[in-house]
C-alpha cells in the first residue's frame, strides 16, 4: 500500500478524542511510510491528520475544489495540493491517488465520499479496503444500519463483511495488511432477468 485516502470532518467535533484519534492515525500513516490523500484543508480533523503526517516527515497529498480553497482554508504546507474544479473531480482524483479508504469521524461530506467508494466496490469498480475508525462508538449506528440493509435484502452479507468497523488503529492497519477483496458485484444477472 503506497497511499491511503482519509475522509473526515472539516470541523473537529465536540470531543477531544476525535482530534487525538486523527493525530494518532496521521502519525501511524507516516511511520508506515504510507502517503495520506485527503481533502486538502487545514482546518478540523482534516488539518489535524495532515499536520500529524507532516510532523513525522510523511507525505501528504491534498485535493480540493477551487470554490472551497478559501472556505476550507486550503493547507499550504502539503507535499502536493491538487486544485480541481468540482466536487466530482475531487472524489475521482482522490480515488485515483489511493489504495485504501478510511473514514474518521465527520459529517455529510465524509459519508458522501465514503459511500461512493463502497458503492464502487459493490459494483466491482475497485477492490480496495474500506474502513471506518469508530472513535467513541461514532459509527456504531452506521454499522447497525448496514446490518439492517443486509437483513432486509438490500446488501449482500459478503459485501457488508468487507467493510471494517473498529476503534483500534493497530487492528485497522493489521486488517488492511491482510485484506483480500471478496466483493461480488450486486447487479442483475441473466438468471435474475429470466425469473421476472
Instruction: Find out whether 72 and 95 touch, Cβ atoms under 8 Å.
Output: no
pLDDT band at 184; cut points 50, 70, 90: low
Query: Higher model confidence: residue 185 or residue 132?
Result: 132
The CATH number given to whatever domain includes residue 33 is 3.40.50.450
Would the pLDDT of 192 be above 60? no
Element housing 35 (H / E): strand 35-38
Rounded Cα distance, 157 and 144, in Å: 13
Cα–Cα–Cα angle for 181, 145, 63, nearest 5°? 60
Q: Locate 25 and state its grid cell.
A: 492515525
User: What is the per-residue pLDDT for 196?
Assistant: 36
Q: How many domains does the chain contain in total?
A: 1
**pLDDT tens-digit series, residues 33-83:** 999 999 999 999 999 999 999 999 999 999 999 988 877 688 999 999 999
Would the pLDDT of 195 be above 90? no
Structural domain containing residue 37? 3-194
Q: Which residues contact 75 (CB under 8 A, 6 or more apart)?
A: 40, 41, 42, 46, 47, 50, 60, 62, 81
Amino acid at each position: 500500500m503506497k497511499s491511503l485516502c482519509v475522509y473526515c470532518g472539516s470541523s473537529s467535533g465536540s470531543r477531544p478524542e476525535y482530534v487525538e484519534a486523527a493525530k494518532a492515525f496521521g502519525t501511524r500513516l507516516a511511520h508506515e511510510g504510507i502517503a495520506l490523500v485527503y481533502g486538502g484543508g487545514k482546518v478540523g480533523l482534516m488539518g489535524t491528520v495532515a499536520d500529524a503526517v507532516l510532523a513525522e516527515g510523511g507525505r501528504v497529498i491534498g485535493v480540493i475544489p477551487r470554490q472551497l480553497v478559501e472556505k476550507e482554508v486550503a493547507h499550504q504546507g502539503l507535499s502536493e495540493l491538487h486544485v480541481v474544479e468540482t466536487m466530482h473531480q475531487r472524489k475521482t482524483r482522490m480515488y485515483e491517488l489511493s489504495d485504501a479508504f478510511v473514514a474518521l469521524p465527520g459529517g455529510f461530506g465524509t459519508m458522501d465520499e465514503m459511500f461512493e467508494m463502497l458503492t464502487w466496490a459493490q459494483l466491482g469498480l475497485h477492490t480496495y479496503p474500506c474502513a471506518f475508525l469508530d472513535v467513541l462508538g461514532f459509527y456504531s449506528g452506521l454499522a447497525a444500519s448496514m446490518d439492517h440493509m443486509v437483513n432486509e435484502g438490500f446488501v449482500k452479507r459478503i459485501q457488508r463483511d468487507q467493510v471494517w468497523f473498529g476503534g483500534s488503529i493497530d487492528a485497522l492497519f493489521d486488517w488492511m495488511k491482510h485484506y483480500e477483496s471478496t466483493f461480488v458485484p450486486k447487479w442483475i444477472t441473466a438468471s435474475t432477468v429470466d425469473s421476472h
